[in-house]
A and B are shown apart, each in its own frame.
Chain A
Amino acid sequence: MKKLLQVSLGIITSIGGFLETGNIATSSQAGAAYGYTPLWAIVLGTICVIFLVEMSGRFAIASHYTIVDGIRDRFGSNIFLLTISIVFVVNLLVLAAEIGGISLALQFLTGVKFPWWSLPVTFMAWLLLWRGTFGLIENGISALGLLALSFVVAVFVMDPPWGEIAKGLLPTLPSKDPLHYSFIVVGILGAVISPYLFYFYSSGALEDEWDKSYFGANRAIAILGMSFGAIITAAVMVSAAMIYPSSGIEDIEGYEQIAMILTPAFGKWGLYLFAISLGITCLGATLEVSLAQAYLVAQGFGWNWSENMKPKENPAFCLVYTACLMIAVIPIVIGVDPLRITIFSMALSALSLPFGVVPFLILMNDPTYVGKHRNGWISNAAVIFIVAMAFVLSIVTTPLEILGG
Chain B
Amino acid sequence: MGIRELICPFKRIAVVEVLGRPLGKSSMDSTSRHCVGTHPALFDYMRIYEENGVWAGRHEDSAVKLFIIALFLVSLTSCSDGQQQRERKIRDVLSWSATAEMVLDARTKMLVSNSFAILTIERCTKEIGSLSKELPTFPENLAALAGRLNMITGSAHHELINGRTDGLSQHLRDLRSLESELRAKSGAAD
Minimal beta-carbon separation of A37 from chain B (angstroms): 17
Question: Does any Cβ of B come within 8 Å of A256's Cβ?
Answer: yes
A-contacting residues, B24-63, CB 8 Å: none
Query: Who on chain B is nearest to A251 by CB?
Result: B95
Question: Does any Cβ of A come within 8 Å of B7's Cβ?
Answer: no
Query: Who on chain B is nearest to A270 by CB?
Result: B111
Minimal beta-carbon separation of B6 from chain A (angstroms): 20
Name the B residues within 8 Å of A113 (CB-CB): 119
Query: Who on chain B is nearest to A258 by CB?
Result: B99
- A248→B110 CA distance, assembly (Å): 21
B-contacting residues, A104-154, CB 8 Å: 107-108, 110-111, 113
Query: Who on chain B is nearest to A401 by CB?
Result: B77
B85 and A263 form a contact (CB under 8 A): no
Minimal beta-carbon separation of A401 from chain B (angstroms): 9
Partner of A251, one of B85, B92, B119: B92
Minimal beta-carbon separation of B170 from chain A (angstroms): 19
Partner of B102, one of A247, A253, A267: A247
B-contacting residues, A226-262, CB 8 Å: 247-254, 256-257, 259-260
Question: Given the known A-B contacts A253-B127, A403-B77, are A110 and B115 also in contact in the complex, defined by CB atoms under 8 Å?
Answer: yes
Main secondary structure of the interface of B (DSSP, over half): helix
A254 and B127 form a contact (CB under 8 A): yes
Question: Does any Cβ of A come within 8 Å of B185's Cβ?
Answer: no
Name the A residues within 8 Å of B118 (CB-CB): 111
Name the B residues within 8 Å of A252 (CB-CB): 95
Interface bin, chain B: 35 or more
Question: Does any Cβ of B come within 8 Å of A271's Cβ?
Answer: yes
Name the A residues within 8 Å of B112 (CB-CB): 260, 263, 268, 271
B98 and A400 form a contact (CB under 8 A): no
- A111→B101 CA distance, assembly (Å): 19
Question: Does any Cβ of A come within 8 Å of B76's Cβ?
Answer: yes
Name the A residues within 8 Å of B19 (CB-CB): none
Question: Does any Cβ of A come within 8 Å of B179's Cβ?
Answer: yes
Name the A residues within 8 Å of B85 (CB-CB): 404-405
Minimal beta-carbon separation of A402 from chain B (angstroms): 9
Question: Does any Cβ of A come within 8 Å of B88's Cβ?
Answer: yes
B-contacting residues, A71-114, CB 8 Å: 107-108, 110-111, 113
Question: Does any Cβ of B come within 8 Å of A399's Cβ?
Answer: yes
A248 and B98 form a contact (CB under 8 A): yes
Name the A residues within 8 Å of B106 (CB-CB): 260, 263
Partner of A250, one of B74, B91, B120: B91
A259 and B91 form a contact (CB under 8 A): no
Name the A residues within 8 Å of B99 (CB-CB): 249, 254, 256-257
Name the B residues within 8 Å of A256 (CB-CB): 99, 103, 119-120, 123-124
The interface of chain B, by Cβ under 8 A from chain A, is 70, 73-74, 76-77, 81, 84-85, 88, 91-92, 94-99, 101-103, 106, 110-116, 118-120, 123-124, 127, 179
Given contact pairs A250-B91, A268-B112, A404-B81, a sample of 9 additional A-B residue pairs in the complex whose CB atoms are under 8 Å apart: A248-B97, A251-B95, A263-B106, A263-B112, A268-B111, A271-B113, A399-B74, A403-B74, A405-B88
Q: List 27 A-B contacts (CB under 8 A).
A: A110-B115, A111-B119, A248-B94, A248-B98, A248-B101, A249-B95, A249-B102, A250-B94, A250-B95, A251-B88, A251-B92, A254-B99, A256-B123, A257-B95, A259-B116, A259-B120, A263-B106, A268-B110, A268-B111, A270-B111, A271-B111, A271-B113, A400-B76, A400-B77, A403-B73, A403-B74, A405-B81
The interface of chain A, by Cβ under 8 A from chain B, is 32, 107-108, 110-111, 113, 177, 247-254, 256-257, 259-260, 263, 267-268, 270-271, 396, 399-400, 403-405
